[in-house]
């Protein structure tokens, strides 16, 4: 597996341009709930070249992806994109990440979707599936083997 | 008006109320939905955080299928629509990435050109179909019911790559609600996140974040909340009991609807035809007000 172009990815984020204005933490829904998660501080650390600390602390995995920081940043830095880039590098470096992702990835690679069609309940506790709802069968890749193989190949290559 | 219908993972595997109500209402507005064959996950939720090429490949794969159908791609989910929009934008900007994606797609004899037209449900209902056509399809007014419109983050941000509504003051869902005769109440929490994407890592935070919005909607005395995003609906509706327990507010009862469910009711359709029996939030209060559903 080739090394991901982490320096390229992070430098493209323009973190040094941050004025530390504080618009991003004031917009962030997570900063109010999780101590230690602050998009402004994340950008400051990246600008100082301390992204390794962020990746080890797992704080990068608590962003909801609401995109308010990206929308409101006056310097168009996007803490959100910086966080995604750090996550991908952390994955390459095999640093810990929330286990919940692994099952979802495996399901998508093997079946094309994050989960198989579920039996759901009505308010009267009746069970319903796609068929009893009058819906057509769920869709999936026609050549599942080729699809799965391609994704496995990509996951084993460069993360970009 | 023909569109390739992309339901996406969450809608097609559990949010049947959205899919059923879309399929029931759209033909009455002159929209022909053509099912896609061979689709897969849009790629963002699993791969956006893991592997950029896997995300872009997954996303472009579905757009390539729509291009083959020569139809605009109508993605029901806000997240899928944003994933496609971002991928389209990225592959326009970086031809070498596009070439790499196409090299992978060739293994299934697919190819992504980049000329696919992406359609969001706000654009379809508000900009393309419009008020007059919707009004003539209605047989019942939802007069006197006050809703909070919740467009969802990914429908409105990031504006710089083009989203279907304004990032800070979105109005289309509000207008769509008022076209049904109901009231759309403005509220400062409108553009706030539901927190759903944290469910995979820290579910408790999802419930805390979602609880804030539901508390605000309740406090302001609205009759319910309306969305078109399956992730937001899943949290606000399906997980409302867990939210109640987490934020310790037993009175936190907020009816949640997909917009197309309300549209269907206003068209005179029955709640079973719109999958409203699957809504877990206390929607009966609103259904009684509407009457005859």
Structure confidence at residue A160 (pLDDT): 45
Residue of A nearest to B101 (CA): A154
Strand partners, B73: B4, B118
- Give the 3-state DSSP-derived string for B204-241, with helices as H, strands as E and coil as C: HHHHHHHHHHHHHHHHCCCCEEEECCHHHHHHHHHCHH
Structure confidence at residue A117 (pLDDT): 97
Flag whether pLDDT at A2 surpasses 80: no
Sheet holding B73-75, edge to edge: B32-35, B2-6, B73-75, B118-119
Average pLDDT over residues A44-59: 89
Return the CATH class of domain B2-119. mainly alpha
Structure confidence at residue B95 (pLDDT): 97
Flag whether pLDDT at B145 surpasses 80: yes
Contact assignment for B13 to A153 by CB distance below 8 Å: no
Question: Residue A83's closest CA among A116, A121, A122, A41?
Answer: A41
Structure confidence at residue B292 (pLDDT): 60
Residue A37 CB neighbour total at 10 angstroms:
21
Quote the mean pLDDT of chain A: 90
DSSP designation for A143: S
Q: For residues B242 and B208, give the distance between their C-alpha atoms in angstroms, rounded to a whole number.
A: 10
Question: Residue B156's closest CA among A13, A62, A72?
Answer: A72
**Judged by CB atoms within 8 Å, which residues 4-23 of A form the interface with B?**
none
| CATH code matching the domain that covers B131-290, chosen among 3.40.30.10, 1.20.1440.230, 1.10.3720.10, 3.40.50.11810 | 3.40.50.11810
Residue of B nearest to A83 (CA): B49
Structural domain spans, chain B: 2-119, 131-290
Flag whether pLDDT at A1 surpasses 50: no
* pLDDT, tens digit (0-9, with 9 covering 90-100), for A91-114: 999 999 999 899 999 999 999 999
Structure confidence at residue A15 (pLDDT): 84
Quote the mean pLDDT of chain B: 96
Under the banding of pLDDT at 50, 70 and 90, the label for residue B194 is very high
Residues in chain B within 8 Å Cβ distance of A157? 53
| ipTM associated with this complex | 0.94
* pLDDT, tens digit (0-9, with 9 covering 90-100), for B220-273: 999 999 999 999 999 999 999 999 999 887 789 999 999 999 999 999 999 999
Flag whether pLDDT at B115 surpasses 60: yes
Residues in chain B within 8 Å Cβ distance of A64? 193, 195-198, 209
Residue of A nearest to B19 (CA): A135
Assess whether the previous peptide bond of B158 is cis (omega < 30° from 0).
yes
DSSP conformation letters of chain B: -EEEEE-HHHHHHT-HHHHHHHHHHGGGGTPEEEE-SS----SHHHHTTT-HHHHHHHHHHHHHHHHHHTS-EEESSHHHHHHHHHHHHHHHH-HHHHHHHHHHHGGGT----S-PPEE-HHIIIIIIIHHHHHHHT-----TT-EEEEE--HHHH--GGG--SS-SSS--HHHHHHHHTT-EEE--TTTT----GGGGGT-HHHHHHHHHHHHHHHHHTT-SEEEE--HHHHIIIIITHHHHHHHHT-TT----EEEHHHHHHHHTT--GGGGTGGG--S-THHHHHHH---
Whether B11 contacts B230, CB under 8 Å: yes
| CB contacts < 8 A (A, B) | 189
Under the banding of pLDDT at 50, 70 and 90, the label for residue A14 is confident
Taking the CA of residue A130 and the nearest CA in chain B, the distance in Å comes to 7
Question: Residue B51's closest CA among A83, A158, A6, A107?
Answer: A158
Q: For residues B27 and B11, give the distance between their C-alpha atoms in angstroms, rounded to a whole number.
A: 19
Average pLDDT over residues B85-97: 97
Residues in chain A within 8 Å Cβ distance of B36? 139
Structure confidence at residue B186 (pLDDT): 96
Taking the CA of residue A95 and the nearest CA in chain B, the distance in Å comes to 12
* Percent of chain B scoring above 70 in pLDDT: 99
Flag whether pLDDT at B3 surpasses 90: yes
**Judged by CB atoms within 8 Å, which residues 72-131 of A form the interface with B?**
76, 78, 84, 87-88, 91, 97-98, 100-101, 104-105, 108, 112-118, 120-124, 126, 128, 130
Average pLDDT over residues B113-118: 98
Structure confidence at residue B68 (pLDDT): 98
Flag whether pLDDT at B293 surpasses 60: no
Task: Note whether A143 contacts B: Cβ–Cβ < 8 A.
Answer: yes
Question: Residue B215's closest CA among B242, B253, B186, B183?
Answer: B253
Strands B118-119 and B73-75: parallel
- In terms of C-beta density within 10 A (0-12 exposed, 13-18 middle, 19 or more buried), how is residue A2 classed? exposed
Residue of A nearest to B34 (CA): A136
Flag whether pLDDT at B185 surpasses 50: yes
Average pLDDT over residues B136-159: 97
pTM: 0.96
């Amino acid at each position: 597996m080739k090394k991901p172009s982490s320096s390229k990815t992070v430098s493209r984020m323009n973190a040094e341009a941050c004025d530390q204005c504080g618009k991003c933490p004031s917009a962030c829904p997570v900063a109010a709930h999780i101590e230690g998660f602050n998009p402004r501080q994340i950008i400051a650390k990246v600008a100082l070249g301390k992204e390794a600390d962020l990746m080890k602390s797992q704080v990068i995995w608590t962003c909801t992806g609401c995109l308010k920081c990206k929308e409101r940043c006056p310097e168009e830095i996007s803490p959100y994109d910086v966080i995604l880039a750090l996550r991908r590098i952390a994955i390459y470096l095999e640093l810990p990440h929330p286990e919940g992702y692994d099952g979802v990835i495996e399901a998508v690679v093997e079946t094309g979707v994050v989960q198989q069609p579920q039996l759901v309940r009505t308010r009267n506790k009746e069970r319903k599936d796609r068929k009893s709802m009058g819906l057509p069968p769920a869709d999936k890749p026609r050549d599942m083997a080729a699809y799965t193989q391609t994704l496995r190949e990509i996951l084993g290559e460069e993360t970009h | 008006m023909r569109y390739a219908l992309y339901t996406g993972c969450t809608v097609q595997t559990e949010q049947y109320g959205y899919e059923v109500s879309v399929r029931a209402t759209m033909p009455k507005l002159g929209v022909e939905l053509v099912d896609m064959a061979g689709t897969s996950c849009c790629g963002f939720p699993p791969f956006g955080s893991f592997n950029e090429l896997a995300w872009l490949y997954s996303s472009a794969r579905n757009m390539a299928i729509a291009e083959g159908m020569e139809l605009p791609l109508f993605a029901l989910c806000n997240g899928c629509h944003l994933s496609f929009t971002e991928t389209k934008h990225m592959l326009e900007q970086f031809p070498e990435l596009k070439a790499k994606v196409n090299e992978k797609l060739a293994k299934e004899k697919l190819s992504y050109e980049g000329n696919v037209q992406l359609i969001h449900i706000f654009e379809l209902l508000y900009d393309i179909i419009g008020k007059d056509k919707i009004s003539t399809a209605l047989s019942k007014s939802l007069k006197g019911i006050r809703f909070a419109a919740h467009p969802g983050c990914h429908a409105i941000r990031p504006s710089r790559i083009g989203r279907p509504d304004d990032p800070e003051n979105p109005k289309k869902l509000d207008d769509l609600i008022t076209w049904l005769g109901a009231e759309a109440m403005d509220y400062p929490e409108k553009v706030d996140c539901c927190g759903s994407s944290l469910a995979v890592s820290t579910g408790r935070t999802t419930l805390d974040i979602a609880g804030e919005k539901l508390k605000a909607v309740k406090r302001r005395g609205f009759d319910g909340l309306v969305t078109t995003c399956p992730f937001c609906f899943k949290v606000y509706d399906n997980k409302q009991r867990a939210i109640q327990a987490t934020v310790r507010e037993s009175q936190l009862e907020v009816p949640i609807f997909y917009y197309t469910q309300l549209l269907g009711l206003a068209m005179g359709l029955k709640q079973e035809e719109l999958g409203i029996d699957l809504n877990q939030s206390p929607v009966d209060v609103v259904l009684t007000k509407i009457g005859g559903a």
